Amino acid sequence: MTVNPNQDTTQAPAGDFTPQQIEALFMNAARDGEADLLTSFLEAGMSPDLRAEKGYTPLILASYNGHVEAVATLLKHGANPDLQDDKGATALAGVAFKGFLPIAHVLLEAGAGVDVANGVGRTPLMFAVMFGRDDMARFLLKAGANPTRRDGEGLSALDLAQRQGNTVLAAAMQDMAAS
């Protein structure tokens, strides 16, 4: 598409899309898990680390919505697994909250930081504990998550498990912290 410098680029000529519309279509493809469409956008030059409203990246959207293939596609094309949204959440934090273990595996294999905290100091492990995702919490612990790291309120994942009466998970965290 050739752009005339005097042309209003917020309005697309018939048959063309504005850059904003193209970005929206790309982000929707990530949100919907359309890996083939993502590949087309990425091969055409879209940034895998594009930021949308609230700082969401395609990887955060694909991860949070449970799309393993789309996540793998974005990572293969260079998406940064540790980019944070406007509240400081990473893709791993979203999947820890949701309990999507297969995506957590893919993110960690791609180098995602296991203890990247959000704006209030909460880590993916804390989210897993807070939302009863015990399998995710155990997985994150095995991946090296720190059960005694404290958030902005001074609480650790271990504290959260104890407060919730999750004695089995709290004992596993104490064992990890002691070793």
pLDDT, position 177: 78
Q: How far apart are CA 165 and CA 127, in angstroms?
A: 16
The residue ranges of the chain whose pLDDT is under 50 are: 1-10, 12-14
- Whole-model pTM over 0.95: no
pLDDT in tens, 89-103: 999 999 999 999 999
Please give the Cα distance from 135 to 44 (Å, whole number).
Answer: 39
User: Would you state the pLDDT for residue 102?
Assistant: 98
Instruction: Identify the pLDDT of residue 16.
Output: 87
Helix 134-142 vs helix 91-98: angle between axes, to the nearest 10 degrees?
140
Residues in CB range of 18: below 8 A, 6 or more apart: 9, 10, 11, 12
Q: Give every CB contact of residue 110 below 8 A, 6+ residues apart in sequence.
A: 75, 81
Q: Name the percent of the chain lying above pLDDT 70.
A: 92
**Cβ neighbours around 96 below 10 Å, total:** 32
Residues in the chain, total: 179
